Structure 1
Amino acid sequence: MNAVLQPRAPGLHPEEWSARVQLAAAYRIFDMLGWTEMIYNHITVRLPDEVTGGQKQFLINPFGLHYSEVTASNLLKIDVEGRKLDADNPWPVNPAGFTIHAAIHEHVPDAHCVMHTHTTNGLAVACTEGGLAQNNFYSAQLHDMVAYHDFEGITIHAEEAPRLLASLGRKPLMILRNHGLLAAGATLPLTFVRLWTLQRACDIQVAQAALGRAIAVPEAVARKTTHDSFQFDQQFGAGQDVFDAMTRLYEKRHGDDYRK
């Protein structure tokens, strides 16, 4: 991750400040990519144990702010129940919006980061009976990595969590039918590149649909493509290089006030 350019807030563990800066950058990158939904949806990260003493604590966007307004210092720290832990932060938390995230963070061991979007093309694919089509370069990189969960309404009810977790299984990506896209991963950059690949696959699928019947990618080829995909290989940074490049691009265009 890029070095922190501004001094960290007084009293914060350096690892917490680093996580805050990275997460704030992610919110700004989502905005730059057009992945926002006014003040809704979330990207969450679990703080490392060296910060929390082993307690489960998370960072989430303040409810009421657009992604373009999120900064390292105004991110909220919450517990697994969605309760605010930093009383000096004036912004409210949306505990109902944390329902999906809480379930995954709590029960999926490697879910350090969870991302959820309602992008137009992602939602369009989520509304199709066939879901993601294995017919393009990007979907071929996601063989056996995408789960599906049937629509049960707005995901604010904790009783849906066991069914959602059962649908997710051990897969890092999920298409919430009639709803949107979801990604989880051991790091924020890895979660980001996985979601980007799924989003890109959806973009191509929607564009291609108007052109007639697509050429299907054989399963064996898709399996090999997923295995060979550089962005999931730990030897190539597991998305860190991509995320750093997007952070630099954001700063070049919009500045670095998210680091405040």
Structure 2
Amino acid sequence: MFEIPQINLKDKVSAQEWQTRVDLAACYRLMVMHGWDDLIHTHISARIPDSEHILINAFGLAFEEVTASNLVKIDINGNIVDKECPFEINPAGFTIHSAAHEARHDDLCVMHVHTNETIAVASLEEGLLPLSQYSMFALASLSYHGYEGLAVNHEEKLRIQEDLGDKNFMLLRNHGALTMGKTIGDAFMHMYDLTRACQIQLQVMATDMKPIYAPQSIIDGIKVQANIVHTGKTGGETAWPAMLRRVYRKYPDFAD
């Protein structure tokens, strides 16, 4: 059995980096809790605030094995910063993330999933439809990227960046979904909303009944309404402390 190298970086990095590590490791555990993980594939990456360095999962670890300390610190080109790091990353898997981080420097977190629901809706010509309140949030800031096979072509990065633009939600055709966030909590809540929207759309379509579509005016005003609900905070800021408590209860080792 492969033994995971045990390291503890809590007192060896800045407080800001450690908090980013804790939040990111929690997000990986939330992926497991929601059934969004895909064996050892897909990634969540986060830029360390006031830094050009990015944290990402070690390739080969299941998401329930990710901890704050075994996240790997890399530069924008995917080079591991700590030469004594006992882990590797998946260079091909970082293509999408590096494209997003390069284009959106103020957004600290990029989350990418291969869930059945997001792949299914991304594979529909119509894409996401205005069928639920969850879809309103995504449709207010949604883009699409066409399928180009495995993300190993460096030239695809430019097309990802052009398609992403200033949007916080992206459906990758035949592939999955991506969300952006100024915090890890924001990226998580964006993915939660997008996933629920896709799940509900598929359930509505399965009824074979005529659906009711929400008007464009609701989509256009949803951000203002959400700002009122969250009293000036983002959904991620409001929900993230509760999500952290949930992870601490189920996986207390994630913050090691």
State the TM-score, normalized to the length of structure 2. Answer: 0.91
Does residue 176 (structure 1) correspond to residue 180 (structure 2)? The answer is: no
2:134 to 132, 138, 144: 138
The residue number in structure 2 matching 1:116 is 112
Does residue 193 (structure 1) correspond to residue 194 (structure 2)? The answer is: no
Does residue 98 (structure 1) correspond to residue 94 (structure 2)? The answer is: yes
Secondary structure, counterpart of 1:205 in structure 2: helix
Amino acid at match of 1:192: F
Which runs of structure 2 are paired with 1:74-89 in the superposition (5 Å)?
A: 74-89=70-85
1:242 to 224, 239, 244: 239
Question: Does the CA contact (< 8 Å) of 1:232 and 1:239 recur in 2?
Answer: no
Does residue 157 (structure 1) correspond to residue 153 (structure 2)? The answer is: yes
Shift in Å, 1:63: 0.2
Shift in Å, 1:135: 1.5
Q: String of CA shifts for 1:135-161, please: whole Å, max 9, x gaps.
A: 111112233310001111111211001
Q: Which runs of 5+ in 2 are unaligned?
A: 1-7
Q: Write the distance in 1 (CA, Å) between the matches of 2:216 and 2:27.
A: 33
Q: Write the distance in 1 (CA, Å) between the matches of 2:72 and 2:143.
A: 29
Shift in Å, 1:163: 1.0
Question: Does the CA contact (< 8 Å) of 1:231 and 1:239 recur in 2?
Answer: no
Amino acid at match of 1:161: K
Structure-2 change in CA distance of 1:231 and 1:13 (3 Å): farther
The residue number in structure 1 matching 2:22 is 21
Q: Write the distance in 2 (CA, Å) between the matches of 1:153 and 1:232.
A: 40
Q: Write the distance in 2 (CA, Å) between the matches of 1:145 and 1:232.
A: 18
Runs of 4+ in 1 over 4 A off after TM superposition: 230-234
Does residue 45 (structure 1) correspond to residue 46 (structure 2)? The answer is: yes
Q: String of CA shifts for 1:1-59, please: whole Å, max 9, x gaps.
A: xxxxxx9623211111111111001100111000101001100001122xx4xxx2100
Q: String of CA shifts for 1:62-97, please: whole Å, max 9, x gaps.
A: 000000000001000001111111222211111111
Q: String of CA shifts for 1:189-239, please: whole Å, max 9, x gaps.
A: 111111111111001001111112211111112222343125995723541
CA RMSD of aligned residues (A): 1.8
Structure-2 change in CA distance of 1:167 and 1:232 (3 Å): farther
State the number of aligned residues. 248
Amino acid at match of 2:17: E
Question: Does the CA contact (< 8 Å) of 2:143 and 2:164 recur in 1?
Answer: yes
Amino acid at match of 1:247: L
Secondary structure, counterpart of 2:161 in structure 1: helix
The residue number in structure 2 matching 1:63 is 59
Amino acid at match of 1:235: G
State the TM-score, normalized to the length of structure 1. Answer: 0.90
Question: Does the CA contact (< 8 Å) of 1:8 and 1:14 recur in 2?
Answer: no
Identity of aligned residues (%): 39
Amino acid at match of 2:114: H
Structure-2 change in CA distance of 1:166 and 1:140 (3 Å): same
Question: Does the CA contact (< 8 Å) of 2:59 and 2:88 recur in 1?
Answer: yes
Structure-2 change in CA distance of 1:232 and 1:103 (3 Å): farther
